[in-house]
Amino acid sequence: MRTFYVTTPIYYVNAEPHLGTAYSTIAADVLARYHRLKGEDVFFLTGVDEHGENIQTLAAEKGISEQELCDQMAPMFTKLWKKLNLSNDIFLRTTSELHKRGATKFLNALYKTGDIYKGKYDGYYCRRCESFYTERELAESKNCPVHKLPVEWVEEENYFFALSKYQDGLRAHIRANPEFIQPESRRNEVLNVVESGLKDVSISRASVSWGIPLPFDQTHMTYVWIEALCNYITALGYGEDGEKFHKYWPANVHMMGKDITRFHAIIWPAMLMAVNLPLPRQIFAHGFVTNQGEKISKTKGNVIDMDTLIGEFGLDAFRYFFLREFSFGNDGDYSQDRFVLRYNADLANDLGNLLNRTLGLVSKNFGVIPEPTTPGEFDDEVKGIARETIDQVDALMGQLAFDMALEKIWEFVRRINRYVQQTQVWSLAKSEETKGRMGTILYNCMESLRTIAVLISPFVPDTANRIRQQMGLDECFENQGLDTVSEWGGLPSGKTVGKPEPIFPRKDTKRKPRHAASSQTEQIATENLISIDQFQSMDLRVAEVIAAERIPNADRLLKLQVDLGSEKRQVVAGIAAHYSPEDLVGKQIVLVANLKPTKIRGIESQGMLLAASGKKELAVATFEKRLPPGTQVR
């Protein structure tokens, strides 16, 4: 029996699950369900990543143990997955013994290859990011560019994995296997990174206590990312349950958001190469969901509330929308309007109404599924399209083109609506002679609906079941494979049909009162308040720009000469995308005058100008009146 192993990333338990994680996981679920439908032996993995310094810190803040924290967080994921009707075969926690044992074995195997060596690592370290930064990556303030928190100078002995050794092997593999990294754009990106040279990566942390110790040196914890990647094999019982592992590995698809492509496309395959395990067949990085064109973020307050959406439209509409509307692999934009449009057009009008009108006619005129006694015009065409649809959907699902697969299915749905129209079935009830033809047409409609129900079942499992129920077919979908629709005519005549009820009640298109327009500005921090003294430690001055020029080979940089009254300064500012040099000359700006000088692009910068910047726009702070240069700002 063919096997199919699909994975999602294991999600970090430092935050609750959100739409992005749901999107990845639903997509993986659809894929898993589709392959089960094909009769394959599927293993679908998802789980949570529970180790690392972040968890350690968070637990300390809450005054509970790390394990307690994880035990609180993990159920949030399992609960949501249940709500989303996900069919994962395992929910792996990295704190589980299964994972710990597997990871330990893997690390030992890796160690034996000789590709792990002890080296000294020193650098600026951000505890939040759990990663190092070079001096250049940091601001003068010595703050982490992501969290704006102070970083620490850390010197520690670390273990390294000789990633650089696998550069050529990786490149060759990516080149030879176009399917390996998808979509294409991600593949190019990764190829680019690999070709520009790989550096060895640190795989341990001596300063962290919450994690899995390196088996060959218990004083070091395995770096959380390295350990997490192992989950794809530990979930299969790597190193112990040989049978399961050999059955499913290598994975057919590692599915993930595009932000974590590199760990999966570079480090993970290299580690597998090192220990001589086969590489996953495909790494698929999907796009992000935006909300009306904007990135979704908590601080922005434009998070899409899944509960509300599911409450109002139903789970299946939710699952349907994100897979139909977005081209998997590209970013997709959500808006309530588009959601309603899709819901009404596709689910209520096309599919829901087709089922409803068909069953209405059947129950009124026959009461049972009629016999197909009287073939006629259009019948063969409909049957042909059914066959064609099944084949095309299969090809598209193979490419993870969920949107196109659904489009194909809906072409079929529309064709059946047209069939009803063309044959004017309803008018055939008037005489007994035409009743045979009527029954045949209705049979064909129902048989089409049965096929459609099977095809859509991976996407909208509940809907598929409801369609079957209304049609009077009691078996639910778990037992209905693709093979049950591969031959036309599998629908049994004579069965009593159920009561037709709209499966997707149409939604009013009238604009609902919008929930409070999401604010454009980010929430203002109320934590980490500073004292007036701290504020006064900044020496802010009025400065007049006397000259400005671009810096070659830098998109964002301008070199400014400014007048501070008592002295002149040279400042490099990252505002070139928004201001041309001419715009600035003569302007009076706010300068942080007591900032330690630094070199940017080899050019000395003696201060920093203040500017407000949002996602797109940026404006330099100026004064509404001219002032003597050097005047203090407070």
- What does the binding site for RNA look like in residue numbers (CB under 7 A)? 136-137, 139-141, 143, 145, 148, 184-185, 188-189, 192-193, 258, 325, 327, 330-331, 333, 341, 344-345, 348-353, 355-357, 360-361, 364, 414, 417-418, 420-422, 424-427, 502-506, 553-557, 572-575, 595, 598, 600-601, 605, 608, 616
CA 42 to the chain's CA centroid: 21
Q: Are 235 and 244 in contact (CB under 8 A)?
A: no
The token pair at 524 is 């203002």
Q: C-beta of 558: minimal distance to RNA in Å?
A: 9
Q: C-beta of 6: minimal distance to RNA in Å?
A: 24
Closer residue to RNA, CB minimum distance, 11 or 504: 504
Backbone angles phi, psi at 453, to 5 degrees: -60, -40
| Residue 362: closest CA among 504, 471, 288 | 471
| C-alpha angle 489-494-496 in degrees, rounded to nearest 5 | 115
DSSP letter for each residue of 146-188: TT--B-EEEEEEEEEE-GGGGHHHHHHHHHH-TTSEESHHHHH
Closer residue to RNA, CB minimum distance, 192 or 219: 192
- Please give the torsion angle defined by the CA atoms of residues 588, 592, 595 and 600, in that order, rounded to the nearest 10 degrees: -50
Closer residue to RNA, CB minimum distance, 115 or 325: 325
Closer residue to RNA, CB minimum distance, 41 or 411: 411
DSSP letter for each residue of 392-444: HHHHHHHTT-HHHHHHHHHHHHHHHHHHHHHHTGGGGGSSHHHHHHHHHHHHH
Closer residue to RNA, CB minimum distance, 401 or 627: 401
Q: C-beta of 507: minimal distance to RNA in Å?
A: 8
Q: Are 208 and 55 in contact (CB under 8 A)?
A: no
Closer residue to RNA, CB minimum distance, 157 or 501: 501
DSSP letter for each residue of 232-298: HHHTTTTTT-HHHHHHHPSPSEEEEEGGGHHIIIIIHHHHHHHTTPPPPS-EEEE--EEETTEE--T
Q: C-beta of 100: minimal distance to RNA in Å?
A: 31
Q: Are 595 and 569 in contact (CB under 8 A)?
A: no
Closer residue to RNA, CB minimum distance, 211 or 329: 329
Q: C-beta of 304: minimal distance to RNA in Å?
A: 17
Q: C-beta of 68: minimal distance to RNA in Å?
A: 35
The token pair at 433 is 């002679």
The token pair at 478 is 């778990």
Closer residue to RNA, CB minimum distance, 99 or 468: 468
Closer residue to RNA, CB minimum distance, 90 or 341: 341
52-to-95, 131, 206, 426 alpha-carbon distances in Å: 11, 11, 12, 66
Closer residue to RNA, CB minimum distance, 109 or 600: 600
| Residue 578: closest CA among 553, 555, 560 | 555
Closer residue to RNA, CB minimum distance, 139 or 154: 139
Q: C-beta of 47: minimal distance to RNA in Å?
A: 25
Cα(30)–Cα(51) distance, integer angstroms: 29
Q: C-beta of 293: minimal distance to RNA in Å?
A: 8
* 290-328 per-residue burial string, b: 16 or more CB within 10 A, e: under 16: bbeeeebeeebebebebeebbeebbbbbbbbbbbbbbeb
Closer residue to RNA, CB minimum distance, 67 or 297: 297
Closer residue to RNA, CB minimum distance, 67 or 330: 330
Q: C-beta of 185: minimal distance to RNA in Å?
A: 5
Q: C-beta of 333: minimal distance to RNA in Å?
A: 7
| Residue 199: closest CA among 226, 162, 151 | 162
* 582-594 per-residue burial string, b: 16 or more CB within 10 A, e: under 16: eebeebbbbbbbe
The token pair at 245 is 């592992």
Closer residue to RNA, CB minimum distance, 75 or 376: 376
- DSSP annotation of 624: S
Cα(447)–Cα(454) distance, integer angstroms: 11
Pairing relationship of beta strands 283-286 and 181-182 according to DSSP bridges: parallel
Q: C-beta of 375: minimal distance to RNA in Å?
A: 20
- Please give the torsion angle defined by the CA atoms of residues 149, 154, 158 and 162, in that order, rounded to the nearest 10 degrees: 70
Q: C-beta of 46: minimal distance to RNA in Å?
A: 24
Closer residue to RNA, CB minimum distance, 403 or 544: 403
- DSSP annotation of 345: I
Q: C-beta of 147: minimal distance to RNA in Å?
A: 10
Q: C-beta of 587: minimal distance to RNA in Å?
A: 16
Q: C-beta of 15: minimal distance to RNA in Å?
A: 20
The token pair at 575 is 């505002």
Q: C-beta of 102: minimal distance to RNA in Å?
A: 30
- DSSP annotation of 371: P
Closer residue to RNA, CB minimum distance, 79 or 295: 295
**Strand ranges inside 551-633, DSSP E:** 558-563, 568-573, 588-592, 598-600, 603-605, 608-609, 611-613, 618-620, 632-633
